Amino acid sequence: MNLSEYDWPGPLGISPFAHQKSTVEFLISYPKAFCFNEQGTGKTASVIWATDYLMKLGLLRRVLVICPLSIMKSAWQQDLFRFALHRTVAVAHGSRDKRKQIINSNAEYVIINFDGVGIVKEEIKNGGFDLIVVDEASAYKNAQTARWKDLRELTREVKGLWMLTGTPAAQSPADAYGLAKLVNPTNIPRFFSEFRDSVMVKVGQHRYIPKPTAKHVVHKALQPAIRFEKKQCLDLPPLTYMDREAPLTPQQLSFYKRLKKEMLIEAAGEEISAVNAASQINKLLQISCGSVYTDTREVVDFDVSNRLSVVQEIVDECSNKVLIFVPFTHTIKLLHDYLTKNGVVCEIINGDVPVNRRSDIVTRFQEQQQPKVLIIQPQAASHGLTLTAADTVVWYAPCTSVETYLQANARIDRPGQKNPMTVVHVYGSPIESRLYALLRSNIDNHRRVIDLYREEIAEDS
């Protein structure tokens, strides 16, 4: 069997794009390799086709996919259902016993999150896996972490390792060391300090800057590798949508359920008005975002660490600039502080930013290297602005207006845009999933608000 005879399984006989075929051909040639294709180019589908092909040849029995919690189901499980429906898939998440049960099952593909690997490391070793696929592999750049050491231990037992990331050394060329040491350690010096000195020069007590030759050293270290950028993929659709799950923290979930119970009691009484339904839906969205406004306009903050880390993951994976739309003012500050603390240069555009400062922010965003991220309140900038330096829109949470949603996405979909574009929906609660579905279907939520309200309180009641 050769690749030209492969039937490319998938819904309605979907065939890969040219760059995906090239990626499949590359991956099946190397048991250990990097795939640095940019976000939105279909890395997941390419890996699924490559592994399915190797399974048909009898060269592969089981695959372990290690990825962020946010894409275990929304990306990997869903794409496996789409492109390899004839294969068995299981998600190893939950208690240790549940994870062990999944690892020890007969599932051909097992999906697990980064921090879950250490919990069932021994079971993975004995699980009969022939290949480990690591998505968003930059999480393994630091060879001193327990996470990295766990994976290194597993690769002694599992012969195949494919590491996927669109940004292998985005923050520093020294980040390449941890990745290279896992895939091809003979390409780099034995010690990190020696590699760091080959790509960085010390300019202060604790400050290093990249050497002019750093890119060449990193390129040599991170081999074998393949990379396609979105601008190279002329066959990509102009706009694609992705979903990223950010599970509610226990604190959020507790308040979310309490509010739903109050809504259920209220609905059992008098007829619910559209205005009141919209108000309650808005409170559910606020809990999902991390900050709730009381009747006296005070702000109650929740633990929203899951959602913040998911947004950070998305930004880290983007090679180009990013717009993040956040519906609530207080949450904008929360996200700005978090990203800034983690080294992301970002600016805010909301109703409090004066026109002249807004113009300066937009000019710098369009013409200069920094800022990488604009955090925007949708109502403040959904019309008029051209922000084509970005090719990714992230919705921190959904808005409740189709017009605002479409206009906000259109900030990057304007003359001057050179790349295929991606819209990412971050969700953690049922109400958010329902709203995104309505927004993508161009259904006016104002007409559906009572139906939406009743669907929400009916769930699990």
Confirm if 40 and 422 have CB atoms less than 8 A apart: yes
What pLDDT does residue 445 have? 52
What pLDDT does residue 107 have? 97
What DSSP letter does each residue of 223-264 carry, written as one string?
-SEE---GGG-TTS-SEEEEEEE-PPPHHHHHHHHHHHHHHH
What pLDDT does residue 440 have? 85
What tokens does 407 get? 């206009």
* Nearest-angstrom CA–CA distance, 434 and 224: 42
What pLDDT does residue 403 have? 84
What crossing angle do the helices spanning 250-267 and 445-458 adopt, rounded to 10°?
100
What pLDDT does residue 206 have? 80
Q: Count CB atoms within 10 A of the CB of residue 167.
A: 18
Confirm if 304 and 333 have CB atoms less than 8 A apart: no
**CATH code of the domain occupying 3-232:** 3.40.50.10810
Q: Count CB atoms within 10 A of the CB of residue 235.
A: 10
* Nearest-angstrom CA–CA distance, 357 and 365: 12
Instruction: Give residue 337's identity as a one-letter amino acid code.
Output: D
What pLDDT does residue 444 have? 55
What pLDDT does residue 460 have? 57
Q: Give the residue ranges of the chain where pLDDT is below 70.
A: 1, 12-13, 234, 263-277, 294-297, 382-383, 443-461
pLDDT digits (tens, 9 = 90+) for 38-55: 888 889 999 999 999 999
* Nearest-angstrom CA–CA distance, 214 and 197: 10
The answer to whether the Cα torsion of 248, 311, 338, 290 is positive or negative is: negative
What pLDDT does residue 5 have? 84
**CATH code of the domain occupying 239-247+302-458:** 3.40.50.300
Q: 415-418 — which CB contacts under 8 Å span 24+ positions?
A: 415/386, 415/388, 416/386, 416/388, 417/388, 417/391, 418/231, 418/388
Domain boundaries, the chain: 3-232, 239-247+302-458
What pLDDT does residue 4 have? 82
What pLDDT does residue 457 have? 61
What pLDDT does residue 204 have? 82
